[in-house]
Amino acid sequence: MKKENSTYNNILETVGHTPIVRLNRCVPQNQHNFYAKVEFFNPGGSIKDRIAVSLVAAAEKRGELNPGGTIIEATSGNTGVGLALVAAVKGYKAVFVMPDKMSQEKIDTLRGFGAKVIITPTSVSPEDPRSHYSVAKKLREITPNSFLANQFENPDNPQTHYETTGPEIWEQTGGSVDIFVGGAGTGGTLSGASRFLKEKKPSVKTICVDPVGSILHDLFYYKELRTPPAPYKMEGIGEDMLPKNVHFEVMDDFVQIEDKEAFLMCRDLLSKEGLFVGPSSGAAVVGAVKYSQQFKEPKNFVIILPDSGNRYLSKAFNDAWMKEVGFLDSPLQLKTVSDLVRETKSEQNIISVTNSAKVMDVIELLKKYGISQVPVFSEDKKELIGLIDESDLLFPLASGHIKAEDPVLNFIKGSILFVDWDDKLQKLAELFAKGYVALVKSPRGEMSLVTKIDLIDYLGGKN
């Protein structure tokens, strides 16, 4: 692993000895200390570089991988990048099998290393022949001189973290770590590092953050599945099967994390702490903060931030994607009718007519005020009847089907509704989709007519 104050024979020697950084603005300002082990400092951008180097070295030592051979692995991306890095330095070929929910950046990165990438469906069981686990095992069977890294079962995975990640945390914190927090995908990081830390200090608690939809939480607490596995957006943590490298005996508690809170914290870590990390890092921080709430006495938390945010530019850091999946509220949910009216319209008594008005009256109003629509009220002005639009009058007048003296009663459309001042713009959008126009009264009593064009103009100005 990394040598301090020295030159290196190749990039693989720079793996490890990542920094620990105090979190300040993304966590509560209370008696606890939250420290992040920042693993994107590894050359491949994630904590998986550690096991990539070790797994290949151990395979070479045992004669399982020979010169000119092929490295095969089922991966969520980061282990693949680490193994691709090793393959590039050592001259191996590489083939990786990934579920289709993984980010395009991970796929492109692997292909950039010259690796072959095979995409498999996410929504199948681990035993299904189409799963990324099954496909990787089959490739190993049919590919001569190949090595399946098998990070989920290979004991060299947790052993790597027992020998590197755990000792680094102990040394960097001077043994002051109280609570160790991270996610479990293969389980190697938590299982290995936790075993080392607990040997040094038995009181250290290890907390696993688990996405809602993963089965690990149920298996830890109940030894059985009580909630069926379900899809989730986080990558690299959580599982739909129990890997052999998840060692529950060195874990003390689990905290379940929703996708939305993980992705939002991931963005906060960048904007408030300057840490460009992925959603699993966000999940770990959210989990640490939640778990800390039960302690009154000060605790030192060490949180694993597994990878770089550059793997998630098309997802976590893409506003359009975040809105599409409901993690970022669009202006339709955040803004109200009052926001639109204040910004796009001057509050004034709206121009309207009663149902006894004549066509000529409406035409004069449209011309005088440069408007295209007029609400129609009952004679006592207490009931909103509907709307007259210039298009309702133009063609009938031009064709001679109506006269200027005719009453407007026959041309009223029942396509106008009142909306409240504090209604969300989402309600407006839904009304407009059905062909309605909206009328709103401000707290001071002024009325405004709001149309689809008004909403488009407002949202356009926001974007």
d(CA 117, CA 129): 17
The pairing of beta strand 20-22 with beta strand 33-38: antiparallel
What are the phi and psi torsion angles at 77 (to 5°)? 130, -50
Nearest 5°: the CA angle 249, 287, 97 is 70
Cα–Cα distances (Å) from 366 to 7, 268, 328, in that order, read 80, 50, 41
Rg of the chain on CA atoms, in Å? 31
**CB-based burial label for 225 (10 Å; 0-12, 13-18, 19+):** exposed
Q: Considering the candidates 2, 3, 37, 48, report the single residue annotated as catalytic.
A: 48
Q: Write out the two tokens for 253.
A: 């508690």
Quote the DSSP letter at residue 41: G
| Distance, CA of 225 to CA of 84 (rounded, Å) | 35
CA-to-CA separations, 228 to 217, 219, 232, in angstroms, rounded:
11, 11, 13
User: Nearest 5 degrees, angle CA 120-CA 123-CA 126?
Assistant: 75
What dihedral do alpha carbons 55, 57, 63, 65 form, nearest 10°? 70
Q: What is the DSSP string of 240-288?
A: SS--TT--GGG--EEEEE-HHHHHHHHHHHHHHH---B-HHHHHHHHHH
Secondary structure class of 327 (helix, strand, coil): coil
Helix (H) or strand (E) holding 110: helix 104-112
Two structure tokens written together for 46: 């994630």
Q: Pairing between strand 300-305 and 33-38?
A: parallel
Does residue 335 carry a catalytic annotation? no
Find the angle CA(458)-CA(324)-CA(131) to the nearest 5 degrees. Answer: 170
**How many residues are listed for the chain in this entry?**
463
Task: Give the active site residues.
Answer: 48
